[in-house]
Amino acid sequence: MKRNTMSYKVQQFLIFAGPAALLFTAVVIVPFIYGIYLTFTSWDGVSASKPFVGLANYVGAFADGDYWIAMGRTILYSIFSVILINVFAFLLAYLVTSGVKGQNFFRSGFFIPNLIGGIVLGYIWKFVFNRAYVAVAGAIAGGTVPSPLSTTSGAMFALVTVSVWQYAGYMMLIYVAGFMSVSDALKEAALIDGCTPMQAMMNVTIPLMRASFVQCIFLSITRFYVVYDVNLSLTKGEPFNTSVMAAMHVYNQAFTYKNYGLGQAEAFILFLVCAIVGITQVYVGKKGEVAA
């Protein structure tokens, strides 16, 4: 058999994995490595020369107050969104698996916001806040009410609202899968042994759904941490740059102000945070597997 020769292995690997490996390397690996190099240069995006500046961009990133404010804002936004989304998603999943009429219809209905991209959703909600909300709140208050998008805390509140609205239906599906995976026999056994439905939920169902919780929480953290589309279309960072989040700051730093090196260094710090979150997820997930 020729199967153990080196040339056979190389040939097989290239035929089957070659195209995927080539494209993956071209758009992920090469830019990633080249990106690390760019963080040590002060490239302006136009000229051919990329002057080497050492660690100046990292020093600049640490000294960039706006960046850290945007970062703090992103963390705050992520915390609120993650908590609210998981609460709503869990509640929805509970309701649509409880056997009420039309639960399949509700399941597909709650998923609709997820089908639409962030840009379009942002503009739709901009209309809701600027026109519909103003009309309703104005009628109730009996005067003119400013749009939430024109006040500083209102804009952030609006971003959280839209994110929760957008993702609750998606996370709901993951929790539904979790609910389905817990066998009815276990719940019935708990009820027969004298648990109240609430106790059965807290002590049997929820601990067995641990995997769903870990997954939903990390999935939402990683999505929100780098949110950009909704931020751009709904608030555009306004009013007065008070709703600029980390991803938007990085984009502006690089493409608007043409500080490519600095922007790339700030993006790299963003990556480190994501990597830490990713590693934590693997760690927490593994630990849970052993316990269950």
- Give residues 177-216 in contact with another protein (rule: CB under 8 A): 177, 215
Nearest to another protein of 132, 189 (CB atom): 132
For position 98 contacting another protein by CB under 8 A, the verdict is yes
From the list 278, 283, 286, 292, which residue makes contact with another protein (rule: CB under 8 A)? 278
Nearest to another protein of 208, 232 (CB atom): 232
For position 51 contacting another protein by CB under 8 A, the verdict is no
- In the complex, what is the shortest distance from the CB of residue 224 to another protein, in angstroms, rounded to a whole number? 11
From the list 5, 16, 72, 289, which residue makes contact with another protein (rule: CB under 8 A)? 16
For position 292 contacting another protein by CB under 8 A, the verdict is no
SS3 assignment for the chain: CCCCCHHHHHHHHHHHHHHHHHHHHHHHHHHHHHHHHHCCECCCCCCCCCCECCCHHHHHHHHCHHHHHHHHHHHHHHHHHHHHHHHHHHHHHHHHCCCCCCHHHHHHHHHHHHHCCHHHHHHHHHHHHHHHHHHHHHHHHCCCCCCHHHCHHHHHHHHHHHHHHHHHHHHHHHHHHHHHHCCHHHHHHHHHCCCCHHHHHHHHHHHHCHHHHHHHHHHHHHHHHCCCHHHHHHHCCCCCCCCCCHHHHHHHHHHHCCCHHHHHHHHHHHHHHHHHHHHHHHHHHHHHHHHC
**Interface mask toward another protein for 103-142; x: CB under 8 A:** ---xxxxxxxxxxxxxxxx-xxx-xx--xx--xx------
For position 73 contacting another protein by CB under 8 A, the verdict is no
From the list 19, 51, 72, 146, which residue makes contact with another protein (rule: CB under 8 A)? 19
For position 274 contacting another protein by CB under 8 A, the verdict is yes
For position 77 contacting another protein by CB under 8 A, the verdict is no
In angstroms, rounded to a whole number, what is the distance separating the alpha carbons of residues 235 and 159? 8
From the list 233, 234, 235, 244, which residue makes contact with another protein (rule: CB under 8 A)? 233
Query: Among 226, 119, 216, 107, which Cα is nearest to 162's?
Result: 119
Interface with another protein in residues 235-264 (CB under 8 A)? 247, 250-251, 254, 260, 263-264
Nearest to another protein of 206, 211 (CB atom): 211
How many Cβ atoms sit within 10 Å of the Cβ of residue 15?
9
Interface with another protein in residues 147-176 (CB under 8 A)? 165, 169-170, 173-174, 176
From the list 5, 26, 51, 199, which residue makes contact with another protein (rule: CB under 8 A)? 26
From the list 76, 87, 186, 275, which residue makes contact with another protein (rule: CB under 8 A)? 275
